[in-house]
Amino acid sequence: MSKIENLKKICHLVKIEDDENLIKKYSLDWRKRIYNKALCVVFPKNEEEVSRILKFCNKNNLKVIPQGGNTNLVASASPSLDKKEIIINFEKMNNINEIDIINKCVDVDSGVIVDNLNQELKKKDFFFPLEMASTGSSQIGGVVSTNAGGVNVLRYGSVRNNILALNVVLATGDIIKLGSKVIKDNTGFNIKDLFCGSEGTLGIITKAILRIFPKVNNTYDFFAAFENLSDVIFFYSEISKKIKFPIVGFEMIPHLSFELCKKHDFIKKSFFKKEYPYYILVKIDVDFSSIKASETIENELANLSNFYQDLIVAQNKQQSNDFWKFREDLTEAQKLEGKLIGFDVSIPLNYLNNFFDTCQKQIDKILPNIKYHTFGHLGDSNIHYNLIEPSGFQDDFYHYEKEIKFIINSQIKKYEGSISAEHGIGILKKDDLIKTKSSLEINMMKNIKKMLDPKNILNSNKIFDI
């Protein structure tokens, strides 16, 4: 009897021989750049089955890939080898175990979809603050293992800031419980943070206790248009100093976003009558119905009116939803436009203008007419610097990726930014990590990996090679 047949005794399993189309579905990465197929996909129903799977795989030297909603943009949840790795998918582990209003936290299994969690929390006037385009399919285990960010980071932080406790199954199959419901726990090393952002290379997350927040009933949402990036950055600096209400999201959006969303039928027309190079979309928590709150914000906006060309304030909840739905649709719209070389970067805001100018001048020399779709979370210095192939392009766009990466990474290193603000490293950014991190830091990470996973069965060939 084969090893796979023995694994079948533990939980539901689908082999490539049984259903090749299903295997392809779970193996293909979101950007459709990695085409290796898994040997099989297993669907555990609980933590105990995960433990048994890893004990078996560790003993038999079978490599595994933990997978949530498979929305990762750097192929962290996709096979790096063809027909040699096992995907452990968590869609059947989808229990919301407890909503604790007193301690303001929720206990969930790793396969719970983020939007489904928020639907349940909404019934109790609470919410989990992760908001991004993929939350309709992203699972808790996946967003924890990648330390997902999204549009609410300014107010609530990334996922790491909202984790109280984790259950993790180690490569040996041992289950370790880290943290508890309490916010303050100053007892030595904070080991749970090690697993957040490790992309499933150190252990497999099976449960999480997450912070939740009372639902905010009132927000002040506005769109503003700008002639240049310098004015955008100055406006952010000033508005964040002068407005005392919490700024939840501060998103920068280029004019191309409107063109793509119109072309691919996400919107019928722009919110603005005229075209401008840059726009910002801002959400501010006021948390109460107050004319004074609106007046305070509007007075500050008026004082800064020399820096923007147009301003649209949402007049009702539907208009606010339309603004933010547009922001969510940008990722899908650019995907429909053509091949894309994407960079998820963090750049200190005082260097962002130089970064944009230098990169575009150098990239245009390599390949003119690239569509620069550069948008993102300006408030936390995270820009999605995405390049879409020129219209009617007949050559292989990815042929130019290495040269373009060299330009981008050189500028990131120059300005002490990050090659990955929220997407992680996975398969697609391994070379970038090596070129932008010190050898000492890389070796420390490798030593931690070797200690926790000496046989290298957990998501091998991701982040770096052992």
Tens digit of pLDDT for each residue in 310-358? 999 999 999 999 999 999 999 999 999 999 999 999 999 999 999 999 9
Radius of gyration of the chain (CA): 23
Question: In this predicted structure, what is the pLDDT of residue 290?
Answer: 59
State the pLDDT confidence band at 457, using cuts at 50, 70 and 90: very high
Identity of residue 368: P
Instruction: For residue 165, tell me if it sits in a domain.
Output: yes
Q: Coil, strand or helix: which one is 302?
A: helix
Question: In this predicted structure, what is the pLDDT of residue 32?
Answer: 82
Q: Say if residue 428 is in the same domain as residue 379.
A: yes
Q: Say if residue 210 is in the same domain as residue 117.
A: yes
Q: Say if residue 122 is in the same domain as residue 180.
A: yes
Q: Say if residue 85 is in the same domain as residue 37.
A: yes
Tell whether the model's pLDDT for residue 77 goes beyond 80: yes
- Residue 379 tokens read as 């408030």
State the pLDDT confidence band at 288, using cuts at 50, 70 and 90: low
- Residue 254 CA to residue 225 CA, distance in Å, equals 10
Alpha-helical segments (H) within 190-308 = 192-195, 229-242, 255-263, 291-303
Tens digit of pLDDT for each residue in 353-403? 999 999 999 999 999 999 999 999 999 999 999 999 999 999 999 999 999
Average predicted confidence (pLDDT) for the chain: 94
Domain closes at, from 302, 335, 368: 335
State the pLDDT confidence band at 256, using cuts at 50, 70 and 90: very high
Whether residue 386 contacts residue 392, with contact meaning beta carbons closer than 8 Å, is answered with no
Domain closes at, from 24, 59, 92: 92
Tell whether the model's pLDDT for residue 443 goes beyond 90: yes
Question: In this predicted structure, what is the pLDDT of residue 33?
Answer: 84
Tens digit of pLDDT for each residue in 201-239? 999 999 999 999 999 888 999 999 999 999 999 999 999
How many residues in total does the chain contain?
466
Q: Say if residue 186 is in the same domain as residue 231.
A: no
Instruction: For residue 153, tell me if it sits in a domain.
Output: yes
Instruction: For residue 308, tell me if it sits in a domain.
Output: yes
Q: Say if residue 88 is in the same domain as residue 101.
A: no
What CATH number should be reported for the domain holding residue 24?
3.30.43.10
Whether residue 386 contacts residue 343, with contact meaning beta carbons closer than 8 Å, is answered with yes
pTM of the model as a whole: 0.92
Instruction: For residue 466, tell me if it sits in a domain.
Output: no
Which has the closest alpha carbon to 139: 64, 208, 37?
Answer: 208
Instruction: For residue 421, tell me if it sits in a domain.
Output: yes
Question: In this predicted structure, what is the pLDDT of residue 287?
Answer: 67
Domain closes at, from 214, 241, 269: 214
Q: Say if residue 207 is in the same domain as residue 140.
A: yes
Instruction: For residue 464, tell me if it sits in a domain.
Output: no
Instruction: For residue 47, tell me if it sits in a domain.
Output: yes
Tell whether the model's pLDDT for residue 73 goes beyond 80: yes
Query: Could you write out the DSSP letters of every residue in 8-49?
Result: TTTSEEEETTT-HHHHHHHHS-TTS------SEEEE-SSHHH
Question: In this predicted structure, what is the pLDDT of residue 1?
Answer: 46
Which has the closest alpha carbon to 17: 4, 30, 29?
Answer: 4
Task: Give the residue numbers spanning the domain of 313.
Answer: 219-335
Q: Say if residue 81 is in the same domain as residue 128.
A: no
What CATH number should be reported for the domain holding residue 188?
3.30.465.10
Instruction: For residue 458, tell me if it sits in a domain.
Output: no
Question: CB neighbours of 267 closer than 8 A, spacing ≥ 6?
Answer: 258, 261, 326, 329
What CATH number should be reported for the domain holding residue 428?
3.30.70.2740
Q: Say if residue 107 is in the same domain as residue 199.
A: yes
- Residue 352 tokens read as 């962002």
The count of structural domains within the chain is 4
Q: Say if residue 120 is in the same domain as residue 228.
A: no
Q: Say if residue 54 is in the same domain as residue 150.
A: no
Q: Say if residue 177 is in the same domain as residue 244.
A: no
Which has the closest alpha carbon to 44: 187, 141, 177?
Answer: 141
Report phi then psi at 83, rounded to 5: 60, 35
